[in-house]
Each structure stands twice: as structure tokens, then as C-alpha cells.
Amino acid sequence: MRPSSKVSPAIFILSILCFFFPFVTISCGGHKIASATGVQLATGTTIEVPQAFGPSREQKVAQEPLAAVAGLCAVIGFGVSFAGGRAAIVPTISGVLGALSLLIMKSRIDGGIVKHGQGVLQANYEMAFFLALLLMIAGAVWNGYLFSQRAKAAVTGPPGGPLPPGISGNSS
């Protein structure tokens, strides 16, 4: 494995790790109500919602399919990163789809907060969300670069390769 081929798996494993940290925090009037990791968003969870009067109540948070898609894209990008060669297009596509999934998921969560929160609730996206998004983009860009370099090498041939017939390597 060449040194440059270790970059892609590192990018995607870091993006996978981000899913285990808080992605979004819901607050009301500046007070934190709930927080969810990327894994909790992808699989669904139950949160404790504090009440103004009385004990807090549990509320089921449904699975966010786009978080699951983004996580799956990170896993696929990581796995295929080891293949090298022309397979670099797969992690490129995984990075793009993962980043788009996270952005669309953010838009859906924001829309749901506006609809159900009636202007009282606010979604705050945590560092892990933005880091996962940036890593997905970095994975797409890096693997796109590797793919373009391999495609370019396939067309032009390796540097220092054989000269075409009729051309001499002597400069005299």
C-alpha cells in the first residue's frame, strides 16, 4: 500500500467515528432539551423531554434514514478505499452521497423543528456533524483526485515508460 493510499481510509474512519458523538442538540429558550449522536439519528432513539411542571417524559425519536445513508456511505468509502486502482471512483461517489445525505438531513431536521417546535425550539448542530460533513467532502475530493491521476496515467502511460517507435532516447 502506497503512503497516499492510507489517506482515504483514514478520512473515512474519522467520519465513521464522528457518528458516535453528538450531531444535534435541541434547545428551548437557550436550555438544552435533548441531544442525539449520528448513530442515534440513524437508528432512532428515545429521549427524555423535560416538562415545565412535573417529571420529564420519554419521547420516541424516529430513525432518520438520511443519517443511516450517510453512515453507510462512510463505511463503504472506508471499505473500498483499500481496493485502490480504478475503484477510487466508489469512495468518491460515497463521499459525495454521504455529504449530500447529511445536508439534506440537516434541512429535514430544521424543517421539522420549525413545523413542530412552533418557533420555540432550536436545533444546534455540533462539531461532530460538521466534521463528518467536511470529512465526507474531503474523502470525495481526495478519491476524485486519485481517480483522475490514475485515469491520466492510464492514458499517457507511466513516466519514463517506453518511447514510441521511431523516437530515439539519445539527444545527440
Show the beta-strand stretches assigned E in the chain. 22-28, 31-37, 45-49, 57-61, 121-125
> Residue 143: in which H helix or E strand, if any?
helix 127-156
Binned at pLDDT 50, 70 and 90, residue 149 comes out as confident
The yes-or-no verdict on residue 107 having pLDDT over 60 is yes
Q: Calculate what percentage of the chain has a pLDDT beyond 90.
A: 47
Spatial strand order of the sheet with 22-28 comes to: 31-37, 22-28, 121-125
Contact, 15 vs 132, CB < 8 A? yes
Residue that wins the pLDDT comparison between 163 and 128: 128
What CATH number does the domain located at 3-154 have? 1.20.140
pLDDT at 52: 67
Q: Give the start-to-end residue ranges of the domains of the chain.
A: 3-154
Helix, strand or coil for residue 39?
helix
User: What are the tens digits of pLDDT across the range 88-105?
Assistant: 789 999 999 999 999 999
